[in-house]
């Protein structure tokens, strides 16, 4: 069946024809393609088109698709069974790796998605502090649980539902939403709600509203304010964890959160999430403490085996400088091409993450991100797709590189993206 036929059938059976809204192409126009296989830096559609992929399954595929080591690890684990519902040895190895890579994590609990990780970390912070309110930042996306789906990025923003229907107003009242990159607003919130704020949760580099980088000292001021006011600091590193450095953004900026949420890369392409942090906080979790959290498939042996292989590869190859070199190549290409065309553009890039905002001024928060020309982005997206380059189908998502892009893929992609900009 072609993508068109599959999508027609899917729309009859699945809401919008997709199992996650951001895949639906609504904000860029047109219909999504279906993928039948993926290898290295390339995905192959049901229509037999080969596309250079900068979505990388929304982050996990840092080693490229279907890496032989990860595939072999899954195959080997599969020999022993798919799920046991009891502790298994892989979980211990995974916990050892995470604790070794991320120094702020002393204990870690595995779950099945980034949404579960952030939802559980928030509950834990509330249970530990015995406070109800939380701070999040507009444009940050922490999955789709009730407390966090307020002024949210990613698909929620892309489809114009940053405040989802179905979230009770009484829940939303417990979430204080502040602008990112504004430490004074955080200080004011702590003063306005003394002794009531359990935690701040932040994507240290917001990557669900395009890609925003923090102003110097901003993340350190969040740390200071949390410590001063007895709240916990949660870094949501589901996207940035293991992608920008083995120890995530916290290693790069030297700020130690109390809790960290993880996902994506630690599953090697299988469904996974994790949250971890200080022992005294983590030991509030059941069965040791009173904060309940659970999951039938948590620590699943196939997901653990895939994730362990992905993390060990990172340790062996230390690919971060190579990835950053490719990131800079793309950034420089996009800047040169948009300048030559006379288009206003901002190209934030860090390591293997980047995005293109069609905007005249730097993007520092949600409000400035909304000023980007999303219609022009849609045209750019389709011009790239026509040339064989797949970008996230939204002006508010980050693009990802993998080690498999090295060589011909990155050079071809740069040429195609320049041509796409020239054609706008
Ligand atoms: N965090 C991913 C996008 N920013 C999730 C992808 C999805 O929602 O399907």
Tell me the CATH number at 28.
3.90.1150.10
User: 128 C-alpha vs ligand 1 centroid, how far in Å?
Assistant: 29
Please give the number of the atom of ligand 1 that sits closest to the Cα of 397. Answer: 4
User: 137 C-alpha vs ligand 1 centroid, how far in Å?
Assistant: 17
User: 155 C-alpha vs ligand 1 centroid, how far in Å?
Assistant: 7
pLDDT value of position 91 = 98
251 plus 348 within the same structural domain: no
Count CB-CB contacts under 10 A for residue 290: 9
Segment holding 260, helix H or strand E: strand 259-263
Indicate if 133 belongs to the active site: no
Domain count, the chain: 2
User: 154 C-alpha vs ligand 1 centroid, how far in Å?
Assistant: 6
Residue 215: give its domain's CATH number: 3.40.640.10
Q: Which of 133, 136, 151, 264 is catalytic?
A: 264
pLDDT value of position 269 = 97
CA distance 123 to 255: 22
Where in the sequence is the domain holding 109, given as residue range(s)? 68-316
Report the predicted TM-score, pTM, of the whole model to 2 decimal places. Answer: 0.97
Domain end: 261, 286, 316, which one? Answer: 316
307 plus 170 within the same structural domain: yes
pLDDT value of position 161 = 73
Q: Which residues does a 6 A CB cutoff place in the pocket of ligand 1?
A: 20, 22, 58, 154-155, 208, 397
CB 209 within 8 A of CB 171: no
Indicate if 236 belongs to the active site: yes
Please name the residue whose Cα sits nearest to atom 3 of ligand 1: 154
3-state SS assignment for residue 402: coil
Q: Report residue 373: phi and psi, to 5°.
A: -85, 90
55 plus 98 within the same structural domain: no
Q: pLDDT under 70 in the chain at which residues?
A: 159-160
Region of 225 (left: φ > 0; alpha: ψ -120 to 50; beta: rest) is alpha
Residue bearing tokens 């299988």 = 270
Domain end: 316, 342, 372, which one? Answer: 316
Please name the residue whose Cα sits nearest to atom 2 of ligand 1: 58
**Chain-centre distance of CA 110, in angstroms?**
17
289 plus 398 within the same structural domain: no
Indicate if 163 belongs to the active site: no
20 plus 166 within the same structural domain: no
User: 114 C-alpha vs ligand 1 centroid, how far in Å?
Assistant: 10
Please give the number of the atom of ligand 1 that sits closest to the Cα of 398. Answer: 4
Please give the number of the atom of ligand 1 that sits closest to the Cα of 238. Answer: 1
Please give the number of the atom of ligand 1 that sits closest to the Cα of 208. Answer: 4
The reply to whether omega before 214 is within 30° of 0 (cis) is no
Ligand 1 probe mutation, 23, 54, 117, 154, most atoms within 8 A of CB? 154
Q: For residue 387, what are its two tokens?
A: 């040339």
CB 239 within 8 A of CB 261: no
165 plus 281 within the same structural domain: yes
pLDDT value of position 1 = 95
CA distance 363 to 160: 19
39 plus 85 within the same structural domain: no
106 plus 158 within the same structural domain: yes
User: 195 C-alpha vs ligand 1 centroid, how far in Å?
Assistant: 34
Please name the residue whose Cα sits nearest to atom 9 of ligand 1: 20
- CB under 8 Å, gap of 24 or more: what pairs does 373-381 form? 373/344, 374/27, 376/343, 376/424, 377/28, 378/27, 378/28, 378/29, 379/424, 380/356, 380/420, 380/421, 380/424, 381/28
Domain end: 316, 346, 362, which one? Answer: 316
Q: For residue 18, what are its two tokens?
A: 């997709």
Region of 210 (left: φ > 0; alpha: ψ -120 to 50; beta: rest) is left
181 plus 241 within the same structural domain: yes
147 plus 239 within the same structural domain: yes
Helix, strand, coil abundance in the chain, percent, nearest 5: 45, 15, 40
CB 394 within 8 A of CB 27: yes
Please name the residue whose Cα sits nearest to atom 6 of ligand 1: 58
Please give the number of the atom of ligand 1 that sits closest to the Cα of 155. Answer: 8
CB 293 within 8 A of CB 286: yes
246 plus 356 within the same structural domain: no
300 plus 324 within the same structural domain: no
- CB under 8 Å, gap of 24 or more: what pairs does 253-256 form? 253/204, 253/214, 253/219, 253/220, 254/220, 255/204, 255/219, 255/220, 255/222, 255/223, 256/103, 256/104, 256/223
CA distance 212 to 136: 15
């Amino acid at each position: 069946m072609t993508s068109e036929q599959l999508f027609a059938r899917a729309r009859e059976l699945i809401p919008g024809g997709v199992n996650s809204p951001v895949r639906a192409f609504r904000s860029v126009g047109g219909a999504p393609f279906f993928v039948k296989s993926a290898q290295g830096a390339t995905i192959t559609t049901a229509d037999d088109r080969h596309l250079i992929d900068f979505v990388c399954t929304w982050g996990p595929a840092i080693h490229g698709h279907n890496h032989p080591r990860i595939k072999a690890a899954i195959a080997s684990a599969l020999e022993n069974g798919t799920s046991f519902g009891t502790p298994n040895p892989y979980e211990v190895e995974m916990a050892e790796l995470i604790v070794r890579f991320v120094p702020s994590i002393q204990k870690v609990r595995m779950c099945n998605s980034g949404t579960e990780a952030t939802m559980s970390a928030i509950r834990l912070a509330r249970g530990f502090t015995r406070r109800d309110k939380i701070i999040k930042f507009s444009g940050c996306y922490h999955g789709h649980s009730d407390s966090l789906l307020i002024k949210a990025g990613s698909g929620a923003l892309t489809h114009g539902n940053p405040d989802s229907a179905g979230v009770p107003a009484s829940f939303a009242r417990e979430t204080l939403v502040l602008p990112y990159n504004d430490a004074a607003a955080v200080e004011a919130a702590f003063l306005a709600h003394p002794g009531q704020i359990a935690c701040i949760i932040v994507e240290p580099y917001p990557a669900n509203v395009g890609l925003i980088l923090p102003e110097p000292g901003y993340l350190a001021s969040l740390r200071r304010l949390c410590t001063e006011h007895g709240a916990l600091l949660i870094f949501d590193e589901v996207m940035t964890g293991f992608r920008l450095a083995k120890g995530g953004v916290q290693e790069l900026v030297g700020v130690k959160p109390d809790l960290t949420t993880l996902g994506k890369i630690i599953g090697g392409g299988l469904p996974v999430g994790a949250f971890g942090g200080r022992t005294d906080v983590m030991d509030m979790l059941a069965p040791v403490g009173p904060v309940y959290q659970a999951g039938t498939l948590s620590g699943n042996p196939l997901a653990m085996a895939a994730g362990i292989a992905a993390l060990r590869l990172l340790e062996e190859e230390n690919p971060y400088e190579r990835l950053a070199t490719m990131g800079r190549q793309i950034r420089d290409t996009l800047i040169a091409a948009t300048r030559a065309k006379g288009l206003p553009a901002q190209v934030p890039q860090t390591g293997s993450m980047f995005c293109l905002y069609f905007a005249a001024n730097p993007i520092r928060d949600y409000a400035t991100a909304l000023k980007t020309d999303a219609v022009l982005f849609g045209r750019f997206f389709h011009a790239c797709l026509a040339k064989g380059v797949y970008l996230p189908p939204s002006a508010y998502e980050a693009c990802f590189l993998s080690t498999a892009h090295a060589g011909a893929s990155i050079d071809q992609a740069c040429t195609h993206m320049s041509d796409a900009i020239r054609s706008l």
